[in-house]
Amino acid sequence: MTRVRVDGFTVSLDGYGAGPGQTLEAPMGAGGGGLHGWLRNTKTFQTMVGGAGGSTGADNEFAIKGFENVGAWIMGRNMFGPVRGDWPDDEWKGWWGPNPPYHVPIFVLTHYPRPPLEMEGDNVFRFVQGDVRDVLKQAVAAADGKDVRIGGGVSTVRAFLEAGLIDEMHLAVSPVLLGSGEALLTGLDLPALGYEVATHAPTAEAMHVIVRKAVR
């Protein structure tokens, strides 16, 4: 059965999933580059970017699980790139080079149409508009029985939480303070939306928290 998941979504200690002012040089906004120390140090991440070494402890186990049984991704336009408004051309192809780390269909939420983008490694980006429920139906069909992973940014995760569409969410709370930016949970009543904390695990780099739909 297909589950809808958020994996490895990192927030600062004061609750921000990104700093202000995303640019090409600062993909996570001002100060946001310090959020993902727990991930960058893992063997999984180093292998993904063509590096060597990396940790193999609990942080790495969470990184591995994030890619298991994923049949499709949904991400916001900000996660795909810093371009705003109408696409000036098709030159921008994401942050990841010619072979992105997804290797499944990826649905990019946008108000501006663009032709599908096929890249190496079975990566196909589809740029879609509409209600998140309709987009999720497309992703579930593409996942072919596997799970759908919801990527960033903050507004995308919030939209799926508000609609009650996420079955499980792994948050990594990083011990950094951003002070401002994009707050993930501000104004959301997760218990009222049907969510509860299932488990949590501290590491030297983060507090990993699993939030799931409560069983009624």
In a domain, 108, yes or no: yes
In a domain, 215, yes or no: no
C-alpha angle with apex 208: 151 to 68, nearest 5 degrees?
A: 50
In a domain, 70, yes or no: yes
In a domain, 81, yes or no: yes
pLDDT at residue 35 greater than cutoff 90: yes
Calculate mean pLDDT across residues 200-213. 97
d(CA 51, CA 74): 26
d(CA 134, CA 112): 16
To which residue do tokens 């959020």 refer? 35
In a domain, 35, yes or no: yes
Q: What is the pLDDT of residue 48?
A: 82
Q: What is the pLDDT of residue 216?
A: 61
Residues facing 73 on adjacent strands: 106, 149
| Residues of the domain holding 132 | 4-17+29-85+92-208
Mean confidence (pLDDT) of the chain: 94
- Pick 81 or 207 by higher pLDDT: 207
Q: What percent of the chain has pLDDT over 90?
A: 80
In a domain, 23, yes or no: no
- Pick 83 or 104 by higher pLDDT: 104
Q: What is the pLDDT of residue 51?
A: 82
Q: How many domains does the chain have?
A: 1
Structure tokens at 64: 């591995």
d(CA 211, CA 200): 9
What's the CATH number where 48 sits?
A: 3.40.430.10
In a domain, 214, yes or no: no
Calculate mean pLDDT across residues 105-114. 96
Per mean pLDDT, which range of 27-31, 64-68, 176-180 is the poorest?
27-31
C-alpha angle with apex 205: 148 to 76, nearest 5 degrees?
A: 30
pLDDT one-digit tens code per residue, 146-192: 999 999 899 999 999 999 999 999 999 999 999 999 999 999 999 99
d(CA 13, CA 45): 22
- Pick 84 or 112 by higher pLDDT: 112
pLDDT at residue 97 greater than cutoff 70: yes
In a domain, 45, yes or no: yes
